[in-house]
């Protein structure tokens, strides 16, 4: 996270949105600092995508206050929109154009775009720059969507599950790009179902369930606050594996050391992961 740590790029207070009888967003409050990577986690239908759409100005809200880069997105001007980049879940590029033609075309929409060739390189599509979009794989099309999201050199980048369809190498390259943009001062809001991705990239996270923020904080802080105890595993002298769940793992290991008079065979101490915490907070613990 870069210097503007005390300035807020996004302020949301009491945000609400209904679709008929369904409440998608039910009183969400958020404060996202300039230059940070902020992750929105939650199951399908939790309200993440609706919140991102409202931040971008593509969805009207029913209630609440929203400020994005100092403006209400519901009344965002063309100049304001040029400062916000977005990568939707759905593809947006015309199938008949080549990668290079598409990136160059979108660059013309912005007053100070990045160099199109640089962006093509950043998303790893150099070898496909002359290929028509309809000939790309799903993962390559997703990388093109990311290119179109960053071509305008946005101050705020909204990413709605951007790495769906990426292979592991492409995902790691995307992570490098996000770290580069963050280091340059770009504020990034990321929704993802990949908990490893959220933990690797986000300075802070908000977990959303049933339209509400149920927890917020740094990844390590969420594990510490909402994780339940630790699991100590070891092997008995007869080869039997044993485990114990405890809130005092140090004491449990000390007792085992006394019993074994030294080294404990097969000793492992594991603490709750971010995935464990996420499943607990969203009421999906039985999904494991």
Residue 91, pLDDT > 70, answer no
Which helix (H) or strand (E) element contains residue 47?
A: none
Q: Nearest 5°: CA angle at 279, between 202 and 231?
A: 95
Instruction: Say what percent of the chain tops pLDDT 90.
Output: 73
In angstroms, rounded to a whole number, what is the distance separating the alpha carbons of residues 159 and 149?
A: 8
pLDDT at 262: 83
Instruction: Say what percent of the chain tops pLDDT 70.
Output: 96
pLDDT at 165: 80
Q: Using an 8 Å Cβ cutoff, are 216 and 205 in contact?
A: yes
User: Per the domain annotation, does 272 fall within a domain?
Assistant: yes
Q: What are the phi and psi torsion angles at 161 (to 5°)?
A: 50, 60
Name residue 204's beta-bridge partners: 38
User: Per the domain annotation, does 229 fall within a domain?
Assistant: yes
Mutual angle of helices 168-183 and 138-150, in 10-degree steps? 10
- Whole-number average pLDDT of the chain: 90
Q: What digits encode the pLDDT tens for the residues 19-78?
A: 999 999 999 999 999 999 999 999 988 999 999 999 999 999 999 999 999 999 999 999
Q: What are the phi and psi torsion angles at 241 (to 5°)?
A: -80, 140
DSSP output for 67-123: EETTB-GGG--HHHHTTEEEE-SS--S-TTSBHHHHHHHHHTTSSSPPPHHHHHHHT
What mean pLDDT is predicted for residues 110-125?
A: 94
User: Per the domain annotation, does 246 fall within a domain?
Assistant: yes
User: Per the domain annotation, does 83 fall within a domain?
Assistant: no
pLDDT at 1: 42
User: Per the domain annotation, does 266 fall within a domain?
Assistant: yes
In angstroms, rounded to a whole number, what is the distance separating the alpha carbons of residues 205 and 38?
A: 6
User: Per the domain annotation, does 262 fall within a domain?
Assistant: yes
pLDDT at 115: 96
What mean pLDDT is predicted for residues 266-273?
A: 88
Domain region containing 244: 225-287
User: Per the domain annotation, does 197 fall within a domain?
Assistant: no
Residue 3 pLDDT grade (very low, low, confident, very high; cuts 50, 70, 90) = very low
Domain tally for the chain?
Answer: 1
In angstroms, rounded to a whole number, what is the distance separating the alpha carbons of residues 157 and 198?
A: 15
What separation in angstroms does the CA of 43 have from each of 79, 137, 192, 274? 34, 27, 10, 14
- Length reported for the chain: 288
Q: What digits encode the pLDDT tens for the residues 211-224?
A: 999 999 999 899 88
User: Per the domain annotation, does 180 fall within a domain?
Assistant: no
Q: What digits encode the pLDDT tens for the residues 188-198?
A: 999 998 999 99
List strands edge to edge, sheet with 268-270.
241-246, 230-235, 268-270
Q: What digits encode the pLDDT tens for the residues 230-248?
A: 889 999 999 999 999 888 8
């Amino acid at each position: 996270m870069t210097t503007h740590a005390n300035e807020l790029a996004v302020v949301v207070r009491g945000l609400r949105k209904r679709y008929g009888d369904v409440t998608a967003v039910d009183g969400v409050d958020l404060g996202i600092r300039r230059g940070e990577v902020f992750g929105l986690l939650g199951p399908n239908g939790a309200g993440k995508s609706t919140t991102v759409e409202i931040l971008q100005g593509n969805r009207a809200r029913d209630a609440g206050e929203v400020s994005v880069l100092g403006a209400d997105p519901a009344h965002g001007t063309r100049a304001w929109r040029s400062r916000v980049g977005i990568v939707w879940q759905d593809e947006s590029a015309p199938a008949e154009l080549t990668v290079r033609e598409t990136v160059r075309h979108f660059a013309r929409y912005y007053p100070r775009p990045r160099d199109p060739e640089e962006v093509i390189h950043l998303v790893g599509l150099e070898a496909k720059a002359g290929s028509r979009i309809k000939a790309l794989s799903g993962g390559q099309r997703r990388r093109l969507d990311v290119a179109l999201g960053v071509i305008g050199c946005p101050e705020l980048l909204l990413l709605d599950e951007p790495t769906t369809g990426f292979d592991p190498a492409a995902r790691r390259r995307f992570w490098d790009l996000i770290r580069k943009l963050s280091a340059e001062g770009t504020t990034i809001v990321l929704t993802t179902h990949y908990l490893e991705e959220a933990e690797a990239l986000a300075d802070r996270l908000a977990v959303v369930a049933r339209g509400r923020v149920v927890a917020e904080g740094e990844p390590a802080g969420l594990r510490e606050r909402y994780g339940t105890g630790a699991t100590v595993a070891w092997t008995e002298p007869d080869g039997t594996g044993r485990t114990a769940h405890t809130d005092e793992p140090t004491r449990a290991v000390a007792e085992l050391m006394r019993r074994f008079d030294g080294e404990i065979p097969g000793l492992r101490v594991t603490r709750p992961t971010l995935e464990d915490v996420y499943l607990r907070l969203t009421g999906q613990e039985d999904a494991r």
